[in-house]
């Protein structure tokens, strides 16, 4: 089971997928997660992934085997 933490004004919301089955529903979940990661990056967000109990910024393409991603808000000065 993988998940994306989408940080937003609600604190966060989760997008989850499973890699334990290969059903059309599971494939659709993975496609949706990949789309969200891609669109977040296209809109200036960073993406982090959980490694050894903490998050590090990740520049690799979406990997459904990653346990947890997080969308990091774009920033601006002032």
Interacting residues with other proteins (CB under 8 A):
5-15, 36, 39-40, 43-46, 48, 50, 53-57, 68, 70, 72-78
In whole angstroms, what is the distance from residue 62 CA to residue 10 CA? 24
In whole angstroms, what is the distance from residue 17 CA to residue 44 CA? 24
The least distance separating other proteins from the CB of residue 20, rounded to whole angstroms, comes to 21
Cβ atoms within 10 Å, residue 44: 11
The least distance separating other proteins from the CB of residue 73, rounded to whole angstroms, comes to 4
9 or 22: whose CB is closer to other proteins? 9
Q: What is the DSSP letter of 14?
A: E
The least distance separating other proteins from the CB of residue 64, rounded to whole angstroms, comes to 18
């Amino acid at each position: 089971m993988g998940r994306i933490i989408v940080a937003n004004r609600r604190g966060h919301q989760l997008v989850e997928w499973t890699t334990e089955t290969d059903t059309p529903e599971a494939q659709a979940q993975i496609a949706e997660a990949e789309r969200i990661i891609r669109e977040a990056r296209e809109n200036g967000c960073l993406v982090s992934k959980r490694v050894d109990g903490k998050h590090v910024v990740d520049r690799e393409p979406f990997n459904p085997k990653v346990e947890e991603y997080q969308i990091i808000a774009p920033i601006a000065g002032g």
